[in-house]
């Protein structure tokens, strides 16, 4: 492995510790968000870490926030670029944390995960095989695994504090956030997906699906959390894509595939993940980062 993993952080004024990110209060309107090397699958955090993963997620999200510069979002700067001189508890923060952190605006989170799918795969494929639908939406009856939809579809889910996120039909989503907000989130999400899909194509990559999260900042719907990382998206190389199969993943699906072959009910505790699986997961994260950004990551 490349570096010692960061499984957790412990600074003053921690607000939240999620599946991957530790969130700290900086001041009245800003947060410090640190991406650890924790990795989860099926909403369960693995006992092992993927060393350096948090650095990749942090840098790739920064790339996409810069890419979507016309979309309101919470990103202010990377941790390395921020002046902590007026915040005593972070004046001596170690570079290993700065390399995986960013400063963001505080937002009132909208509790719906905005999933956009360009190709049928994963849980959508499993649901489609059983019901012919995805999120209670009628879908053409002759699709094969890995096939591209005629246009991207919006398949949101709940944002569960504990346990598994649950798919939402359109009516359930509208009841959750309101019809007007639902439509706005759908339109923004599909537009962002389409922009990202076009960029990925220029790099020889297919963006199969992804999830976005949004919140209110100064009354405006704004893009928050991570963006288009291999934790939140499925990436395939165009050369590997063949309708009727699931292409080699360059994202967290590689770990999920291994877990699906274990005797595990998708509830804690998770099985022990071998070093070889962790190493190969990291290799895929590095690979997709460097392809999409044309930047060499330093771990």
Q: What are the sequence ranges of the domains in the chain?
A: 14-107, 109-252
Q: What is the pLDDT of residue 29?
A: 97
Q: What is the DSSP letter of 109?
A: E
Give the whole-angstrom CA distance, residue 162 versus residue 175. Answer: 21
Q: What is the pLDDT of residue 91?
A: 87
93: Cβ–Cβ under 8 A, 6 or more apart, which residues?
11, 79, 84
Q: What is the pLDDT of residue 163?
A: 59
What end-to-end distance do the CA atoms of the chain give, in Å? Answer: 10
Q: pLDDT by residue for the chain (299 residues), tens digit each?
A: 468 999 999 999 999 999 999 999 999 999 999 999 999 999 999 999 999 999 999 999 999 999 999 999 999 999 999 999 889 889 889 999 999 999 999 999 999 999 999 999 999 999 999 999 999 999 999 999 999 999 999 999 998 666 567 999 999 999 999 999 999 999 999 999 999 999 999 999 999 999 999 999 999 999 999 999 999 999 999 999 999 999 999 999 999 999 999 999 999 999 999 999 999 999 999 999 999 999 999 88
pTM exceeding 0.85: yes
Which two three-digit tokens encode residue 94? 């170690």
Domain at 109-252, CATH class: alpha beta
Q: What is the pLDDT of residue 161?
A: 61
Q: What is the pLDDT of residue 164?
A: 67
* 14 closest CA partner among 117, 114, 97, 96: 97
209: Cβ–Cβ under 8 A, 6 or more apart, which residues?
115, 116, 117, 118, 119, 121, 122, 124, 233, 234
The C-alpha angle 66, 161, 220, rounded to 5 degrees, equals: 40
Calculate helix-pair angle for 275-293, 53-67, nearest 10 degrees.
20
Q: What is the pLDDT of residue 98?
A: 96
CATH architecture, domain 14-107: 2-Layer Sandwich (3.30)
Calculate helix-pair angle for 253-260, 275-293, nearest 10 degrees.
150
């Amino acid at each position: 492995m490349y570096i010692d993993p960061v499984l957790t952080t412990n600074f003053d004024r921690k607000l939240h510790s999620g599946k991957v990110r530790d969130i700290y209060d900086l001041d009245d309107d800003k947060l410090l968000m640190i991406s650890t090397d924790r990795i989860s699958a099926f909403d369960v955090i693995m006992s092992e870490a993927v060393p350096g993963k948090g650095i990749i997620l942090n840098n790739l999200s920064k790339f996409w926030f810069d890419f979507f510069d016309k979309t309101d979002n919470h990103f202010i700067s990377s941790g390395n670029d921020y002046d902590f001189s007026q915040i005593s508890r972070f004046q001596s923060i170690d570079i290993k944390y700065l390399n995986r952190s960013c400063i963001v605006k505080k937002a009132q989170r909208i509790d719906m995960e905005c999933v956009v799918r360009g190709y049928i795969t994963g849980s959508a494929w499993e649901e489609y095989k059983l019901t012919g639908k995805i999120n209670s939406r009628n879908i053409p009856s002759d699709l094969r695994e890995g096939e591209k939809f005629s246009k991207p579809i919006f398949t949101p889910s709940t944002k569960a504090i504990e346990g598994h996120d649950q798919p939402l039909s359109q009516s359930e989503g509208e009841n959750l956030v309101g019809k007007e907000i639902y439509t706005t989130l759908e339109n923004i999400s599909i537009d962002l997906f389409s922009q990202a899909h076009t960029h990925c194509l220029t790099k020889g990559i297919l963006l199969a699906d992804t999830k976005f999260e949004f919140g209110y900042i100064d009354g405006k719907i704004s893009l928050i959390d991570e963006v288009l990382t291999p934790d939140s998206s499925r990436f395939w190389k165009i050369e590997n894509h063949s309708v009727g199969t699931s292409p080699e993943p360059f994202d967290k699906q590689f770990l999920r595939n291994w877990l699906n072959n274990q005797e595990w009910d998708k509830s804690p505790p998770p099985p022990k993940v071998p070093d070889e699986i962790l190493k190969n997961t990291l290799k895929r994260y590095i690979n997709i980062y460097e392809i999409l950004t044309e930047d060499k990551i330093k771990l």
